[in-house]
Structure 1
Amino acid sequence: MPNQNAKQLVKDLQPFKGAIESAHRLLTWEKKYYPGLLFVGISLIYATFWYLDLSVITILFLLVFAVNMFNHLLPTISRWLGNALDWDALHDVRFEHICEQIYSFKENWAAWVQYLFNERMSAGLVTMISLILLAFAWIGANVDNCLLMYVVTLLIAIWASLKYNLNDGGYKSKLKTFIKKQLQI
């Protein structure tokens, strides 16, 4: 049974359901050419940043501008994508499952942050976290920031698909069970 907060998230994201469904299919590599499409898209964006050699403040303002335009245009694009998908009960169930995953990630992230900042940690854990952060700081000081962000963006983009495709069908079988259960209700 879905959480009440997850149901509220489903209601809140209704205008964006076509875009969310399409992004989920892209990020989980539903088609064989999607990994290449992701790689080329991310590479083109970072190649443009590298070529233009913009200042940090300009990149931040362009990012805010892009988010603003994206927020304004996404409902229209989402309706267009939703109509292209011939939305049916299966797509609704997938959308609800995606929203539950988003809410679950949010809850896990909040619990992890609360643990880090509210719990008394052992000296060994503090030392390990400090060494990891120092290593990242050293890498950040010695490697170009644009290259680091490019690599991090690629890793984030493929993380969902790696979990999905390397799970030996565990996620797929969970999704199939979830869909069957939802369609029976």
Structure 2
Amino acid sequence: MENDKKKVFNKVKHDLEVYRELLLILNNILKWEQNFFPGIIGGVLTLLFIILWWLDFSTLTLIALITIFVTVLDYGYPLISKFIFKAENWSGSQEKLYEQVIQDIVDVRLSICSAICSFFSSRSERSTFYLITVTAGSIALAWIGSTFNNLFLVYLTVLILAMYPGLKAKGIIKLVLNHINAVIGPYLKKIRPEKSAPAEKTD
């Protein structure tokens, strides 16, 4: 398992090496290295989705534009970065931070793959649980999709995903989870069935 994880780490590190400077900048922003970064993230995403709402693109057009943007970025950035970032300016501390960013990416990737595999393995191991989960989740998604604007839902999803690294890095998520656990923990203990004490032996 460790060898496989190391192989994935080395591959991802090699594949993203051309974007290493950009990744460090994004890492600083997403993890809120400056106090004003959350405002920048929220403001940029809000402005972007307001523009998309105003232009009112069809789904197919939006997918095509995103594909064009990603393709141009993937082709053009390596050429431009050579003039902006000099290889000789890359320091050991930056390399260490880059490896930490890659490790975070690998951990997220493996966690997602593990969650997907566990979910689908429950189809054969716990078929009733799988059926109830998929059915309830699909009904909930159908209701949410029919109640709220789809672009607004995408906006909320992207905003939450963009804010998550900063919330985690600042310990806010852990603080909220601890508070929730402190509130509902006593109630959960009360509803859990207590194990019956073993009967005492009589002579």
TM-score, normalised to structure 2, is 0.74
Q: Deviations over 1:11-53 (max 9, x none)?
A: 2211110001111111101111111111111011101111011
**Partner amino acid, structure 2, of 1:93:** K
**8 Å Cα contact 1:18/1:82 also seen in 2:** yes
For 1:166, the aligned partner's letter is G
Task: Tell whether 2:151 aligns with 1:146.
Answer: yes
Contact 2:31 2:166 in 1 (8 A): yes
Q: Once the 2 structures are TM-superposed, how far is the Cα of residue 97 of structure 1 from its aligned partner?
A: 1.0
Q: Counterpart of 1:155 in 2: which secondary structure?
A: helix
Comparing 55-64 with 123-132, greater Cα deviation is found at: 123-132
Question: Is the alpha carbon distance of 1:90 and 1:49 closer, same or farther for their aligned partners in structure 2, counting shifts above 3 Å?
Answer: same
Which of 126, 130, 135 is the equivalent residue of 2:140? 135
Which of structures 1 and 2 has the larger relative contact order (alpha carbons within 8 angstroms, sep 6+)?
Answer: 1
Distance 1:61 1:125 in 2: 35
The answer to whether structure 1 residue 68 and structure 2 residue 71 are counterparts is yes
Distance in 2 between residues matched to 1:98 and 1:79, nearest whole Å: 21
Q: Is the 8 A contact 1:15 1:79 kept in 2?
A: no
- Kindly provide the CA deviation profile for residues 35-81 of structure 1, in whole angstroms up to 9, marking residues without a partner as x: 11111110111011110111111111111111111212232454566
Give the alignment partner of residue 115 of structure 1, picking from 115, 118, 131: 118
SS in 2 for 1:36: helix
Runs of 5+ consecutive residues of structure 2 not aligned to the other structure: 175-203
Distance 1:8 1:128, change over 3 A: closer
Question: Retained in 2: the 8 A contact 1:18–1:80?
Answer: no
Contact 1:46-1:150 at 8 Å conserved across structures? yes
| CA distance 1:145–1:88, shift in 2 (3 Å) | same
3-state SS of 1:147 partner? helix
TM-score normalized by structure 1? 0.80
Gaps of 5+ in 1: 170-185
Displacement, 1:121? 2.4
1:148-183 C-alpha deviation (Å, 9 max, x unpaired): 1111110110011111111699xxxxxxxxxxxxxx
- Mean Cα deviation higher: 112-121 or 70-79: 70-79
Letter in 1 for 2:33: E
Partner in structure 1 of residue 51 of structure 2:
48
Indicate conservation of the 8 Å contact 1:29/1:35, yes or no: yes
Which residue type is aligned with residue 101 of structure 2?
I
Distance across 2 between alignment mates of 1:149 and 1:127: 26
**Contact conserved, 1:22 with 1:81, CA < 8 A, in 2?**
no
Q: How many residue pairs align between the two structures? A: 168
Q: Percent identity?
A: 21
AA in 1 matched with 2:144: I
